[in-house]
């Protein structure tokens, strides 16, 4: 089953910058695929197109069998960004349950499901905390929990661990692999400029080069470390 399909995907910004040129990549169910490359190679541009925030200037892009804008509205697609996106005035459990609240889930279901994913990311003792009371790594864990709460089939992550210290990053990488390896249907598309991170995490790596942003190589990696 194809989760993301890019065909001759290209993006030229209005000022003439060719940010992405002729990218052909298909991502299947269950893959953990990393886009890796130096600053300026078009990673964020690809991410913005997949999340429907920016439109391709050429080629086609399908996400979960539909358009990126449509996919964004579906609960089977979830995002995690470099910055946590928790709402500061809501407790951790309310933040994490928010996607379910927006879909009209009952209070009980929200609490149960939020507790389930908070346990997965090691935050079960912090359900009543406010975001400002948590460290950077814990806020990122909570953001990941919120992405997982609606049981997404496609998890899109843009440099989620870039702002964390090395130790926290390694811990969260392991936790993410653990969560992914327990769900055979979950596909992860992960963007990073860190080659080590890409090799450690992925089943397949897409290496990008800048000016213009092109695919330099696509390599299969061993099944990631469990």
* Contact criterion met (CB below 8 Å) for 46 and 202: no
Other Cβ atoms closer than 10 A to 176: 24
**Site size toward ligand ADP, by CB under 6 A:** 16
Q: And the tokens for 219? A: 């390599």
Task: Note whether 41 binds ligand ADP by CB under 6 A.
Answer: yes
Please pick, from the candidates 30, 40, 59, 224, the single residue that binds ligand ADP as defined by CB under 6 A. Answer: 40
Interface with ligand ADP (CB under 6 A), residue from 44, 51, 91, 202: 44
Q: Which stretch binds ligand ADP (CB under 6 A): 33-41, 59-67, 97-105, 196-204?
A: 33-41
Q: Where are the alpha helices (DSSP H) in the chain?
A: 43-50, 68-73, 92-102, 107-120, 136-148, 166-181, 195-201
Phi-psi region of 173 (alpha: psi -120 to 50; beta: other; left: phi over 0): alpha
- The Cα 78–Cα 92 span in angstroms is 18
Stretch that binds ligand ADP, among 21-29, 41-49, 149-157, 164-172 (CB under 6 A): 41-49
Q: In the window 50-79, what residues touch ligand ADP (CB under 6 A)? A: 54-55
Q: Which residues, numbered 189-218, are part of the site for ligand ADP (CB under 6 A)?
A: 213
Beta carbons of 203 and 220 less than 8 angstroms apart: yes
Report if residue 152 touches ligand ADP, rule: CB under 6 A: no
User: Judged by CB, which is closer to ligand ADP: 36, or 96?
Assistant: 36
Output the smallest distance, CB 185 to ligand ADP, in A: 28
Give 62 or 110: the residue with its C-beta nearer to ligand ADP: 62
Q: How far apart are the first and last CA of the chain?
A: 23
Nearest to 142, CA basis, from 132, 152, 224, 50: 132
Instruction: Write down the least CB distance from residue 57 to ligand ADP, Å.
Output: 8
Which residues of the shown chain bind ligand ADP in the complex (CB under 6 A)?
13-15, 17, 19, 37, 39-45, 54-55, 213
């Amino acid at each position: 089953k194809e989760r993301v399909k890019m065909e001759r995907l290209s993006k030229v910004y209005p000022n003439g910058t060719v940010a992405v040129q002729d990218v052909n990549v298909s991502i299947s169910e269950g893959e953990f695929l990393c886009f890796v490359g130096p600053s300026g190679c078009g990673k964020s541009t690809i991410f913005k197109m997949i999340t429907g925030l920016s439109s391709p200037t050429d080629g086609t892009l399908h996400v979960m069998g539909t358009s990126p804008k449509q996919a964004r509205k579906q609960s089977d697609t979830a995002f995690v960004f470099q910055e946590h996106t928790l709402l500061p005035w809501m407790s951790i459990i309310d933040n994490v349950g928010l996607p379910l609240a927006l879909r009209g889930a009952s209070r009980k279901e929200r609490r149960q499901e939020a507790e389930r994913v908070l346990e997965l990311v090691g935050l079960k003792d912090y359900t009543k905390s406010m975001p400002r009371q948590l460290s950077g790594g814990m806020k990122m864990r909570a953001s990941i929990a919120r992405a997982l709460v609606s049981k997404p089939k496609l998890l899109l992550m843009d440099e989620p661990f870039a702002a964390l210290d090395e130790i926290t990053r390694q811990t969260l990488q392991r936790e993410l692999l653990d969560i992914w390896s327990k769900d055979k249907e979950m596909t992860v598309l992960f963007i990073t400029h860190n080659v080590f991170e890409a090799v450690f995490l992925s089943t397949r790596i897409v290496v990008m080069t800048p000016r213009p942003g092109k695919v330099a190589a696509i390599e299969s990696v061993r099944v990631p470390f469990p």
